[in-house]
């Protein structure tokens, strides 16, 4: 049968499929179709009130926030969004796996510290890769966050151990059959400008998130779940998902940094990009020992307001990543207004500690304006605690950071971590951690 009109269409589809397989997965998924990217189509909604207790009474003092409302809000996030963090705190054992006194051409001390989560050396463990300035005379403030591809991807230094944990397959990166290879060394270094960070007097500590909980849905059997969860009964609706597991492990990283002679444990900021930005926020909200919190392009389930339904939605994230949140979170699929929380309340849990939200102009999937609005709407809690929130809810000007006791920027470019982002985070840390 002669169907000339079908030919171009078929070849367009084939060309598209061929082309899309060549693109890095982050580019393909950048802006899936079928979602709203238009501000004028954001639905009307009202946010749950921050300064009202569940019994309806108003919260008018810092004391009431601390003793009554903050615990309520924290429990709501545990029960409806991320799930509980593991409540067992195993006896941690650490071992310095490597040390280089003159890393980065003499500018830094570089260490790998293995943290064992049990008494078994072959049980779950994570490696913390820490750089501290070589010339520091006293313990330094430090950024700590997970990386996506293994500590060896952060810097090409051949002495950094290649992770043996599960990694996402990516042949271009050198990840084959879920194992990292030599080829993947240093491949994420643009996101971790370690030299720039130590030259400004900060330490930087990073952990491969797959050491803690490999990022796929296995029914919570691997990673730390293998020792922390009994698996004899069905999981509760508020049992923690992977974001809770990762954020819990950031706290264990802080346990270690608190004992570290080169780092000042009272001046550690969490940092994270994307799903690991969600993790950074949840870690900072759950553990008040973190002195500062940074979210880079964390989007839905992180800094963005869910009720806006701009870019990624609750339903989409729970469907694509069923293991990230708790089961109860699925009740809000296409039903965001029924949730007792929205993500301005996650920001408020961090108050009065400084929190910085970084967005990117082309990262519409993460709803840059919605990320800013969360921070803006947390303002009343910051004010109640004697801090300044964002001055207004105007659409922010690109590349013009706003920094008070909270910080926000939207930079040009895509979903990524850049030197511009880090420069702002360090400027903000100069005000708050130094
Ligand atoms: C996307 C996901 C986002 C974000 C991102 C990432 O696929 O939809 O929520 O977390 O992954 O972590 O890279």
For residue 105, the number of C-alpha atoms closer than 13 Å in the C-beta half-sphere is: 3
Please, which residues bridge with residue 108 across strands? 103, 133
Ligand 1 contacts CB of residue 417 (under 6 A): no
Q: For residue 352, is the peptide bond before it cis, meaning its omega torsion is within 30 degrees of 0?
A: yes
CA of 275 to the centre of ligand 1 (A): 6
Rounded to 10°, the helix 275-286/70-80 angle is: 140
Ligand 1 contacts CB of residue 300 (under 6 A): yes
What separation in angstroms does the CA of 244 have from each of 49, 249, 325? 24, 9, 8
Q: 113-157 pLDDT, tens per residue?
A: 999 999 999 999 999 999 999 999 999 999 999 999 999 999 999
Write down the pLDDT at residue 30. 78
Ligand 1 contacts CB of residue 274 (under 6 A): yes
The residue length of the chain stands at 434
CA of 59 to the centre of ligand 1 (A): 35
Break the chain into its structural domains and give their ranges.
9-80+298-415, 93-266
| Cα(422)–Cα(286) distance, integer angstroms | 24
Instruction: Return the sign of the alpha-carbon dihedral for residues 311, 292, 280, 326.
Output: negative
Q: What DSSP designation does 178 have?
A: T
Write down the pLDDT at residue 87. 84
Closest ligand 1 atom to residue 29 Cα is 7
Write down the pLDDT at residue 102. 97
Nearest 5°: phi and psi at 224? -65, -20
Write down the pLDDT at residue 2. 35
Ligand 1 contacts CB of residue 317 (under 6 A): yes
Per residue of the chain (434 residues), what is the pLDDT tens digit?
A: 333 333 333 333 333 333 333 333 443 457 999 999 999 999 999 999 999 999 999 999 999 999 999 999 999 999 999 999 988 778 899 999 999 999 999 999 999 999 999 999 999 999 999 999 999 999 999 999 999 999 999 999 999 999 999 999 999 999 999 999 999 999 999 999 999 999 999 999 999 999 999 999 999 999 999 998 888 789 999 999 999 999 999 999 999 999 999 999 999 999 999 999 999 999 999 999 999 999 999 999 999 999 999 999 999 999 999 999 999 999 999 999 999 999 999 999 999 999 999 999 999 999 999 999 999 999 999 999 999 999 999 999 999 999 999 999 999 999 999 999 999 999 999 999 99
* Mutation pick for ligand 1 pocket among 246, 277, 280, 312 (CB with most ligand atoms within 8 Å): 312
Distance of CA 391 to the CA centre of its chain: 25
DSSP string, 285-342: HH-TT-SEEEEES--TTTTS-GGG--SS-HHHHHHH-TTTS-GGGGGGTT-GGG-S--
Which among 404, 396, 340, 403 is positioned nearest to 371, based on CA atoms? 396
Write down the pLDDT at residue 11. 37
Active site residues: 274, 415
C-beta separation of 152 from 161 below 8 A = yes
pTM higher than 0.85, yes or no? yes
Write down the pLDDT at residue 45. 98
| Cα(103)–Cα(322) distance, integer angstroms | 40
Which among 297, 336, 296 is positioned nearest to 316, based on CA atoms? 336
């Amino acid at each position: 049968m002669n169907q000339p009109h079908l030919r171009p269409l078929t070849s367009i589809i084939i060309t598209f499929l061929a082309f899309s397989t060549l693109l890095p997965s982050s580019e393909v998924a950048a802006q899936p179709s079928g979602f709203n990217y238009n501000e004028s189509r954001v639905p009307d909604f009202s946010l749950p009130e921050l300064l009202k207790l569940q019994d309806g009474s108003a919260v008018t003092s810092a004391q009431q926030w601390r003793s009554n409302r903050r615990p309520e809000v924290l429990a709501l996030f545990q029960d409806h969004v991320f799930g509980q963090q593991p409540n067992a705190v195993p006896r941690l054992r650490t071992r310095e796996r490597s040390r280089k006194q003159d890393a980065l051409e003499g500018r830094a001390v570089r260490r790998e510290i293995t943290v064992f989560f049990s008494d078994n050396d072959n049980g779950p463990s994570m490696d913390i890769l820490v750089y501290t300035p070589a010339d520091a005379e006293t313990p330094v403030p430090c950024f700590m966050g997970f990386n996506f591809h293994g500590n060896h991807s952060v810097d090409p230094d051949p002495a950094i151990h290649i992770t043996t944990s599960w990694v996402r397959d990516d042949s271009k990166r050198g990840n084959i059959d879920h194992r990292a290879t030599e080829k993947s060394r240093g491949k994420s270094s643009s996101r971790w400008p370690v030299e720039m960070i130590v030259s400004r007097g900060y330490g930087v500590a990073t952990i491969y998130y797959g050491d803690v909980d490999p990022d796929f849905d296995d029914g919570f059997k691997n990673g730390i779940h293998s020792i922390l969860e009994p698996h004899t009964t069905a999981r509760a609706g508020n049992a923690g998902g992977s974001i809770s597991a990762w954020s819990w492990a950031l706290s264990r990283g802080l346990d270690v940094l608190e004992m570290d002679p080169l780092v000042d444990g009272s001046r550690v900021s969490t940092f994270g990009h994307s799903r690991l930005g969600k993790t950074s926020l949840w870690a900072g909200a759950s553990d008040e020992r973190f002195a500062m919190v940074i979210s880079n392009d964390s989007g839905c389930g992180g800094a963005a307001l869910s009720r806006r339904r701009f870019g990624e939605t609750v339903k989409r994230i729970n469907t694509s990543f069923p293991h990230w949140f708790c089961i109860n979170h699925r009740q809000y699929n296409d039903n965001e207004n029924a949730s007792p929380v929205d993500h301005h309340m996650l920001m408020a849990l961090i108050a009065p500690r400084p929190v910085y939200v970084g967005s990117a102009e082309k990262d519409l999937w993460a709803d840059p304006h919605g990320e800013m609005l969360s921070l803006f709407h947390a303002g009343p809690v910051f004010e109640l605690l004697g801090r300044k929130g964002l001055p207004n809810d105007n659409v922010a000007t690109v590349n013009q950071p706003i920094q008070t006791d909270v910080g926000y920027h939207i930079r040009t470019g895509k979903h990524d971590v850049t030197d511009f982002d880090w420069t702002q985070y360090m400027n903000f840390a100069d005000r708050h951690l130094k």
